[in-house]
């Protein structure tokens, strides 16, 4: 009898179980509370419970800072894999995967537009592209941002989020430290303001070059900033490091930073800072 038989809508065993709510919630690494992803995005990816600053992609950072109508520039550069490098997988394959994942050619985005009423040049790093590592394309793109600031005398903002130099490009990646530093030297000689914003993480050759060369060096709360990581330092000196070592607040207390600025206050802070720096 049909009373005891399921004639349609049979239950089918799905070998690949899918959860419809997967990805809708995010667990805060600091307070451990679950956050609705839409709420997190609406709150500029800052935990509404404890203020933890989650990572943010480069294009969203630019969109939050610049007025509508800004322009993305210098997006056409692509790495040529100068060493034909292979480790666990070919570098060309890593590049292709990162490009497909992020929609970018490399770990950097340049933009020109207005911050409030002021013209500005922004160069923002993309951490999800091979850890925001700095190769020849990143170095050239940032150098072009510096050149734009020199040409237009518009202030420069570089937003760092990087694990350091891209070792798959060998010496070509390390040369970018000197290349960008020399360009920033010309910017300083021309008295064009440059603010460096460090986000989590800013390490390696990026910290050892342009990230620490700002007229004003600022950071987001809780960002890891340093050359080598704390675990490497502990293993090297065989000593326990202080609580919060290499975090923004620790560096501010010890004179390595000029300010720690929460993300929601950043735009207003930059408007004021560029105002008195350009006066």
Q: Report the distance separating Cα 91 and Cα 166, nearest Å.
A: 11
Q: Report the distance separating Cα 128 and Cα 194, nearest Å.
A: 25
Annotation-wise, does 31 bind a ligand? yes
Least Cα distance to 71 among 191, 154, 192 occurs for 154
Q: Where are the beta strands (DSSP E) in 126-224?
A: 156-162, 194-202, 216-219
3-state SS of 15-37 is CCCCCCCCCCEEECCCCCCEEEH
Annotation-wise, does 203 bind a ligand? no
Question: Token digits for 134?
Answer: 């700095």
DSSP strand pairing (194-202 vs 25-27): unpaired
Annotation-wise, does 223 bind a ligand? no
In terms of residues, how long is the chain?
Answer: 279
Q: What 8-state DSSP symbol labels residue 219? A: E
Between the two ends of the chain, the Cα-to-Cα distance in Å is 88
Residues of the binding site for Zn(2+): 28, 31, 47, 50
Residues of the binding site: 28, 31, 47, 50
């Amino acid at each position: 009898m049909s009373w005891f038989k399921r004639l349609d809508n049979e239950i089918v065993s799905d070998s690949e179980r899918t959860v419809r709510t997967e990805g809708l919630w995010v667990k805060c690494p600091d307070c451990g509370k679950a956050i609705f992803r839409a709420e997190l995005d609406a709150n500029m990816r800052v935990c509404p419970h404890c203020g933890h600053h989650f990572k943010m992609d480069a294009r969203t950072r630019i969109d939050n800072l610049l007025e509508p109508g800004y322009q993305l520039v210098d997006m056409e550069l692509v790495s040529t894999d100068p060493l034909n490098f292979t480790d666990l997988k070919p570098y060309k394959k890593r590049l292709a995967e990162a490009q497909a994942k992020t929609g970018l050619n490399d770990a950097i985005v340049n933009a020109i537009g207005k911050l409030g009423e002021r013209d500005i040049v922004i160069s923002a790093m993309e951490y999800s592209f091979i850890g925001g590592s700095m190769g020849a394309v990143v170095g050239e793109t940032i150098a072009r941002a510096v050149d734009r600031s020199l040409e237009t005398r518009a202030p420069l903002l570089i937003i760092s989020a990087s694990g350091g130099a891209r070792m798959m490009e060998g010496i070509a990646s390390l040369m970018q430290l000197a290349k960008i530093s020399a360009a920033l030297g010309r910017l300083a000689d021309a008295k064009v303001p440059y603010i460096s914003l460090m986000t989590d993480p800013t390490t390696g050759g990026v910290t050892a070059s342009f990230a620490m060369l700002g007229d004003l060096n600022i950071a987001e709360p809780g960002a890891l900033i340093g050359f080598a990581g704390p675990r490497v330092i502990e293993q090297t000196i065989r000593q326990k490091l202080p609580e919060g070592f290499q975090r923004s607040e620790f560096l501010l207390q010890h004179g390595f930073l000029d300010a720690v600025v929460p993300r929601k206050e950043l735009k207003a802070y930059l408007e004021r800072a560029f105002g008195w720096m350009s006066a």
